C-alpha cells in the first residue's frame, strides 16, 4: 500500500468524513507508483527492473489476499504505459469472467485491438483471481498468449499458483508475495489515521493488526468501518466491527483448559458458538492466541496446536457443529491431565 502523503488530486487536504462514504479508503489511498507499495521489497524491486527496461514478460503474481498483487501490476502498468494506460490495459476478475467464452471474445478482441503505445511497450491484460478460471478457459488463454505475444502481455494474479495449468506457468515469470509484517501494517495505518484524523488507541491499533493478520486491505477496511461505526477506534470497537471472538476471552478459555477445568471451558466455547461466531473463526482465533501464549510453555503449546490443527482440518471438511468444538475443549483439557 502507498506510503505517499494522502492528498486529493488538486493537492487539497483529505476530504471530510462525510465525503469518504463515497470512496473506500483502500481505493482512495491505493498506490500509483511501485515505490509507494509497502512490503515484499524483493518482488517490487523485480517489478521496478521491468519498469526500467520496458520489456514486460507474462507474469503470475501469487500470494495471500490483500497484500498488494493487483496493486503492484496496476502500478507497473502506469509506469510502463503512462498516458496510454486507459486504452492499453484490460482488467478482468477471472472469478466472475472465468469461462472459455470470455477468453474467446473479450480477451481476444482486446489483444487484436490496435493501440498507439510508446516504443517497446505492450498492451497489458490483467486477470485477477486467475486460479478460478476453468480448465478450458486456461487452455484457450494459453493459445491466445502464444498468438498475440508480439503486442500483448498477460498478468495473472492468484492465491494458489498450482491451480494455473503448467503450459501457462512455463510461459510466465512467477512473482511470489508474502503477507505483510505487523510493523508494515502499523506504519500504514498510522499514516491513514493522521490523514483522516481518526482517534485511535494503542489497543485499537493492536486489534486492527491482529484481525488483519498481514492483510493490508482488511486492516484498512476494518479501520474505516470502525471509525464510521463508532467514531473512535479502540480494541472493543474493532472486535465488534470484525465480529471476531475477543483474544482475551479465548486466552481465558485456554487457561481453563490448561488447568483441566473442562466444564468452565466448555461453557465458554458454547457461549461463543451460540452468539453466532462460526466454528472456523473460533478455532482460527484459538490457533493464533496459542502461538503467542508463552505462559503455556513450549510442550503444552505444541500439544494444543496439534489438537487445534486436527479440529481445523475437520471443520474445513464441513463438520462445523458445536460437537467438534466441545471435542476440542475435551482434548485440550485431557492433554494437560495426561502430562500431569
The 10s digit of each residue's pLDDT in 200-235 is 999 999 999 988 888 899 999 999 999 988 888 988
Both 68 and 170 in one domain: the answer is yes
Strand order in the sheet with 59-62: 89-93, 123-128, 152-158, 59-62, 173-176
Tens-digit pLDDT profile for residues 129-159: 888 888 888 888 888 888 888 888 999 999 8
Please say whether the beta carbons of 238 and 226 come within 8 A: yes
The stretch 151-174 carries a mean pLDDT of: 89
Report if residue 27 sits inside a domain. Answer: no
pLDDT score recorded for residue 94: 60
Which residue in this structure is represented by grid cell 479465548? 250
- Cα Rg of the chain (Å, integer): 24
Both 188 and 116 in one domain: the answer is no
Domain boundary among 176, 201, 216: 176
Report if residue 23 sits inside a domain. Answer: no
The CATH code of the domain that includes 322 is 1.20.272.10
Q: Give how many domains the chain has, as a whole number.
A: 3
Res. 8: pLDDT tops 80: no
Report if residue 82 sits inside a domain. Answer: yes
Q: How many other C-beta atoms are found inside a 10 Å radius of the C-beta of residue 154?
A: 27
The stretch 188-208 carries a mean pLDDT of: 91
Report if residue 132 sits inside a domain. Answer: yes
Both 231 and 297 in one domain: the answer is no
Both 170 and 252 in one domain: the answer is no
Selection from 316, 318, 254, 317 nearest residue 289 by Cα:
254
Domain boundary among 192, 214, 242: 242
Report if residue 91 sits inside a domain. Answer: yes
Both 256 and 324 in one domain: the answer is yes
Both 64 and 170 in one domain: the answer is yes
Domain boundary among 119, 146, 176: 176
The stretch 168-189 carries a mean pLDDT of: 90
pLDDT score recorded for residue 205: 92
Which residue in this structure is represented by grid cell 492468484? 158
Q: By 3-state DSSP, what share of the chain in percent is helix, strand and coil, each rounded to 5? A: 60, 10, 30
State which residues form the domain around 113.
40-176
Q: Can you read off the three cell numbers belonging to residue 175?
A: 512473482
pLDDT score recorded for residue 329: 92
Report if residue 150 sits inside a domain. Answer: yes
Tens-digit pLDDT profile for residues 71-115: 999 999 988 888 888 888 888 876 666 667 777 778 888 888 888
Q: How many Å apart are CA 10 and CA 298, to the nearest integer? A: 56
Both 229 and 159 in one domain: the answer is no
Both 170 and 74 in one domain: the answer is yes
pLDDT score recorded for residue 188: 92
Both 166 and 77 in one domain: the answer is yes
User: CB within 8 A of 48, min separation 6: which ones?
Assistant: 34, 35
The enclosing H or E element of 90 equals strand 89-93
User: 48-62, 114-128, 246-260 — which is least confidently predicted?
Assistant: 114-128
The CATH code of the domain that includes 206 is 1.10.8.60
Report if residue 30 sits inside a domain. Answer: no
pLDDT score recorded for residue 221: 92
Report if residue 1 sits inside a domain. Answer: no
Both 191 and 80 in one domain: the answer is no
Pairing status of strand 152-158 against strand 173-176: unpaired
Q: How many other C-beta atoms are found inside a 10 Å radius of the C-beta of residue 110?
A: 19
Both 45 and 168 in one domain: the answer is yes
Both 227 and 168 in one domain: the answer is no
The CATH code of the domain that includes 137 is 3.40.50.300
Percentage of the chain beyond pLDDT 70 is 89
Amino acid at each position: 500500500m502507498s506510503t505517499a502523503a494522502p492528498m486529493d488530486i488538486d493537492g487539497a487536504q483529505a476530504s471530510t468524513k462525510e465525503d469518504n462514504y463515497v470512496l473506500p479508503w483502500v481505493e482512495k489511498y491505493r498506490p500509483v507508483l511501485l515505490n509507494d507499495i509497502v512490503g515484499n521489497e524483493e518482488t517490487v524491486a523485480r517489478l521496478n527492473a521491468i519498469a526500467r527496461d520496458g520489456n514486460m514478460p507474462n507474469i503470475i503474481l501469487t500470494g495471500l489476499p490483500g497484500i498488494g498483487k493487483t496493486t503492484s501490476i496496476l502500478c507497473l502498468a502506469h509506469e510502463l504505459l503512462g498516458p496510454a494506460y486507459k486504452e492499453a490495459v484490460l482488467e478482468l476478475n477471472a472469478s466472475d469472467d472465468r469461462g472459455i467464452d470470455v477468453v474467446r471474445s473479450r480477451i481476444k478482441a482486446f489483444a487484436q485491438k490496435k493501440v498507439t503505445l510508446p516504443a517497446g511497450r505492450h498492451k497489458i491484460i490483467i486477470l485477477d483471481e486467475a486460479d478460478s478460471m476453468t480448465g478450458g478457459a486456461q487452455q484457450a488463454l494459453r493459445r491466445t498468449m502464444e498468438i498475440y505475444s508480439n503486442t500483448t502481455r498477460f498478468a495473472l494474479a492468484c492465491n494458489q499458483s498450482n491451480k494455473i495449468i503448467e503450459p501457462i506457468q512455463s510461459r510466465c515469470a512467477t512473482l511470489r508475495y508474502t503477507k505483510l509484517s505487523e510493523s508494515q501494517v502499523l506504519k500504514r495505518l498510522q499514516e491513514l489515521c493522521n490523514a483522516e484524523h481518526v482517534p485511535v488507541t494503542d489497543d485499537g491499533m493492536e486489534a486492527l493488526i491482529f484481525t488483519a493478520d498481514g492483510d493490508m486491505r482488511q486492516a484498512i477496511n476494518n479501520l474505516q468501518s470502525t471509525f464510521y461505526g463508532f467514531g473512535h477506534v479502540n480494541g472493543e470497537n474493532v472486535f465488534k466491527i470484525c465480529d471476531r471472538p475477543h483474544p482475551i476471552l479465548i486466552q481465558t478459555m485456554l487457561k481453563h483448559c490448561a488447568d483441566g477445568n473442562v466444564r468452565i471451558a466448555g461453557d465458554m466455547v458454547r457461549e461463543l458458538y451460540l452468539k453466532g461466531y462460526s466454528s472456523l473463526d473460533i478455532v482460527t482465533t484459538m490457533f493464533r492466541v496459542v502461538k503467542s501464549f508463552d505462559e503455556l510453555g513450549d510442550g503444552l503449546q505444541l500439544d494444543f496446536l496439534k489438537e487445534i490443527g486436527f479440529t481445523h482440518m475437520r471443520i474445513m471438511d464441513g463438520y462445523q457443529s458445536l460437537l467438534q468444538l466441545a471435542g476440542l475443549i475435551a482434548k485440550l483439557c485431557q492433554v494437560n491431565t495426561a502430562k500431569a
